[in-house]
């Protein structure tokens, strides 16, 4: 019996929480990209009253990313719009900044963000300078389903240094000399790990001559394999950065680490004691700084997987807290409709209402350093102070790779139909289905199951007052999955 061949050209494009991604040469092909890019560009032109017909095109450092971006430029020309191509690999938020600078219709960015090296993708940014929502990608899908034909047009594409525009723009929002001078007075060195991604060199360039003996960047060279790990700012992939900070600590010196993902829109940090700090800890620090020190207006927007510490700090400062599904586009929607102080997600994406409706890891890093200088306390000391006031919280996420998308769908149905009423010895007090299934077990103790929007992957999140409770809760959660689908 002959095996049925998979005809990817007839399969629908699967848009995730931020665009479309797939394995290069399998799901993500040039043929499919040209169609998606043309449809997305047409939709960008349709939804905005045309003051110009520019579409910004960017790309990261992945294999064939620049070549794919050049192909997108021809697709954009083919639908009678004008492509502006980035002059080099650049962070995704640089493209969003460029949209605002150029008053463009939007941006198409070739990147697979934090995904493994064999992946490539396309992020679509709207005229407001942030990720488009699901209604937009639904409209793009309808255009694809309609089967309209557009012919790519080769030509010379104007190249623009959007990276430089972005770095100059955000540096002007801070007193860079005050930050560098303050860090030196505290004796704090900053180690930066761009994970071989497109944010390489950006922090040094932001500080310019002030970066000497202050900013130390590692893993800046281009490596399409990202050193053998996905360019995602998770503790497991940051051994070199952690070692750099720990070595300084053992020598009696103060330092901290900053890490950016493959396309420079996600952030994590290593505190002066060598402890890994994701946005579950960074967001409360930033909320405290923006509301207490800067006294800026606006509510706080967190995703359903965000730490309860964000809520506790925000509400103590009199700020409303909104909880949204995972995906920065949901935070961006709030930024476009109301005054938002800060919005962020567990996976490292943070944005600010006074900046862009977009994740921007470089801007976040500067704000984090500003907060350290303002309080005269290094990162770990600031986090410890918040824990002393609001209670300690521990968080961990484990990712389970599933056999295929069919298994993913079966498991999702199982969890919806047979939602656990207890985990271990703890009863489930509340079930939240904003995104995935979140089980509330106690104060600041919850477990959440959520499936990746782009891969056959189950993410299991847990927050609890102690690391032992996190470990035991995740153990019971994994046992539940193994016993049902092992």
d(CA 282, CA 17): 22
The three state secondary structure string of 129-184 is: CCECCHHHHHHHHHHHHHCCCCCCCCCCCEEECHHHHHHHHHHCCCCHHHHHHHHH
What pLDDT sits at residue 386? Answer: 97
E strands of 54-132, at which residues?
54-59, 82-86, 106-110, 119-125
Domain count, the chain: 3
7 assigned to some structural domain: no
pLDDT digits (tens, 9 = 90+) for 7-65: 444 578 888 878 999 999 999 999 999 999 999 999 999 987 667 899 999 999 999 99
What pLDDT sits at residue 266? Answer: 97
What pLDDT sits at residue 403? Answer: 84
CATH (domain of 441): 3.30.310.50
- In the chain, which stretches have pLDDT less than 50? 1-9
Q: Which of 390, 409, 440 is the last residue of a domain?
A: 390
What pLDDT sits at residue 148? Answer: 81
What pLDDT sits at residue 227? Answer: 96
CATH (domain of 338): 3.40.120.10
Domain region containing 437: 394-485
In DSSP terms, which residues pair with 438 in a beta bridge?
432, 448
5 assigned to some structural domain: no
What pLDDT sits at residue 454? Answer: 64
pLDDT digits (tens, 9 = 90+) for 375-408: 999 999 999 999 999 999 899 999 898 888 888 8
- Residues 316, 222: one domain? yes
What pLDDT sits at residue 5? Answer: 43
- Residues 314, 430: one domain? no
What pLDDT sits at residue 404? Answer: 84
C-alpha torsion 435→14→26→148, nearest 10? -170
Q: Which of 334, 363, 390 is the last residue of a domain?
A: 390
């Amino acid at each position: 019996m002959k095996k049925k061949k998979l005809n990817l050209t007839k399969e629908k494009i699967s848009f995730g929480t931020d665009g479309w991604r797939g394995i290069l040469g399998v799901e993500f092909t040039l043929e499919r990209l040209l169609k998606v890019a043309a449809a997305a560009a047409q939709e960008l032109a349709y939804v905005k009253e045309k003051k110009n017909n520019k579409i910004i095109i960017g790309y990261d450092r992945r294999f064939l990313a620049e070549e794919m971006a050049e192909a997108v430029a021809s697709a954009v020309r083919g639908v009678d719009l004008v492509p502006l191509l980035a002059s080099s690999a650049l962070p995704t938020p640089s493209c969003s900044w460029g949209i605002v600078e150029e008053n463009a219709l939007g941006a198409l960015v070739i990147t697979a963000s934090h995904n493994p090296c064999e992946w490539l993708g396309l992020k679509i940014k709207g005229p407001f300078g942030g990720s488009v929502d699901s209604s937009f990608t639904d409209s793009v899908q309808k255009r694809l389903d309609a089967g309209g034909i557009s012919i790519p047009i080769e030509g010379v594409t104007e190249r623009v240094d959007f990276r430089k525009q972005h770095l100059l723009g955000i540096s002007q929002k801070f007193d860079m000399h005050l930050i560098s001078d303050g860090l030196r007075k505290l004796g704090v060195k900053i180690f930066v790990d761009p994970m071989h991604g497109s944010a390489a060199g950006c922090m040094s360039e932001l500080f310019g001559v002030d970066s000497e003996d202050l900013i130390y960047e590692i893993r800046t060279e281009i490596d399409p394999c990202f050193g053998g790990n996905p360019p995602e700012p998770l503790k497991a992939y940051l051994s070199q950065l952690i070692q750099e900070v720990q070595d300084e600590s053992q020598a009696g010196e103060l330092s901290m680490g900053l890490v950016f993902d493959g396309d420079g829109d996600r952030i994590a940090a290593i505190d002066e004691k060598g402890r890994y700090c994701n946005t579950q800890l960074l967001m409360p620090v930033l909320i405290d700084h923006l509301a207490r020190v800067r006294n800026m207006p606006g509510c706080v927007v967190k995703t359903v997987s965000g730490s309860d510490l964000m809520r506790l700090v925000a509400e103590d400062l009199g700020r409303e807290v909104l909880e949204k599904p995972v995906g920065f586009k949901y935070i961006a929607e709030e930024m476009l409709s109301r005054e938002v102080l800060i919005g962020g997600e567990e996976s490292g994406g943070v944005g600010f209402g006074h900046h862009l409706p977009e994740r921007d890891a470089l801007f976040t890093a500067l704000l984090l350093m500003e907060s350290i200088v303002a309080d005269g306390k290094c990162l770990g000391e600031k986090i410890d102070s918040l824990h002393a006031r609001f209670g300690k919280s521990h968080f961990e996420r484990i990712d389970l790779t599933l056999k295929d998308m069919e298994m993913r769908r079966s498991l999702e149905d199982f969890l919806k139909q047979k939602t656990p009423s207890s985990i271990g010895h703890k009863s489930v007090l509340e079930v939240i289905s904003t995104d995935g299934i979140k089980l509330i077990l106690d104060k600041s103790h919850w477990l959440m199951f959520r499936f990746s929007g782009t891969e056959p992957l189950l993410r299991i999140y847990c927050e609890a007052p102690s690391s032992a409770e996190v470990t035991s809760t995740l153990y019971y959660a994994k046992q539940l999955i193994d016993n049902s689908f092992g």
